[in-house]
Structure 1
Amino acid sequence: MTDFLSADLMQNEILTPLSPADLQRLLQPGHQSIFLIGMMGAGKTTLGRQLARHLKREFYDLDHELEARCGVPVATIFDIEGEAGFRRRETLELDICSRRPEIILATGGGAILAEANRHMLKERGTVVYLRANINELYRRLERDKTRPLLQTANPQERIASLLAEREPIYEQLADVVFETGSAPVHLAAKQLLDVLKEQEVIS
């Protein structure tokens, strides 16, 4: 038995706007939360953990938080409720996570599709787009069987389609764009830290 939220409970959840005082608390210069966006396979979770360790901050992965709340994997939520049901739950979880001060949050690849999500991300912290090209994304994901959106006959074509749809949104939403490339994780994390310091996102 899982603790899956009922549909009625979900529909009754209200996204309460933050007060000016709460926003001010979240947006202290040099101490803002960092929200990582980008395609699946772009390195949001891996780099996010490294950033959090270097900055001595709490790290959260939005999908993992959602799985813990629902008691089932993301793939199961997709199976039972479809993508639309998953996206509703994702918005509620993002609202909860993004209220926490001075965190590093790795979002799901499609979290930027909902206008409410984009508003929360932009309003409550600094948004960093981790960009990777199609070939690099496919190399990282080709053996991953846990991604519901890639369970197709041609995963590489699906990645290309998703990237074409989402990249303009990632770029428009981002305060910082960082190319992940093929550098080792520890080196990429150091480079990203340098960029964030240069842009005075962190002190």
Structure 2
Amino acid sequence: MTGTPPGIAALRARTDASLGEAARTWLEKATAVAAAEDTGDQRTPATWELRFAEAGRRCGAEHADSVRVVLLHAARADTATLTRLYEQGAAAERRAVLAALPHLVPGPEALSLVEDALRTNDTRLVAAAVGPYAAEHLTAHHWRHAVLKCLFTGVPVSAVAELAERARGDAELARMLGDYARERTAAGRPVPDDLHRVLALTPLVVPPPHKAEES
């Protein structure tokens, strides 16, 4: 992996601007270590992985997600490394792995991590799972269920990347939303406002026919 993608560069700039001097110095050293280490030997955790785990303590919980994404990119973490960190990590570390996927994994190889997060009831983990990586790689069937998962758990659908693009013209999604709304109504429970927002996106927008100019 050569160069720094614009998304990572922008994230690093925002992160640096939000950190205090001590945390910024720590991140600079941690990314230098991550960039220098070989991630191929998985017998023992690399030094940068220890920094990955302690990011919240060093930089503050509110900055830990972005700091961890920056570290993962600096380390050029591959799918195997990301999977190991996800499986061994706490919820906050798992969120960072999910957020890093679109920057580090070009194909669908890491979808199992997204699917695992969507099986949880941790709303912050679910929100991280429906980001750009899911938008690009989840099948239509699994993506629809991811949208419903957000409605079930109260995750705002604004967290779903490319929602309007993927929902447009999706008659099956509209049917599933209608079924869910009827179930909620029959049970005397309110229908989430977000359901109506998504449902409004599902019709296929057909451009009006071109009118020939009158001579």
TM-score in same-fold range (> 0.5): no
Higher relative contact order (CA 8 A, sep 6+): 1
Higher helix share: 2
Higher strand share: 1
Question: Computing the radius of gyration over CA atoms, which structure comes out larger, 1 or 2?
Answer: 2
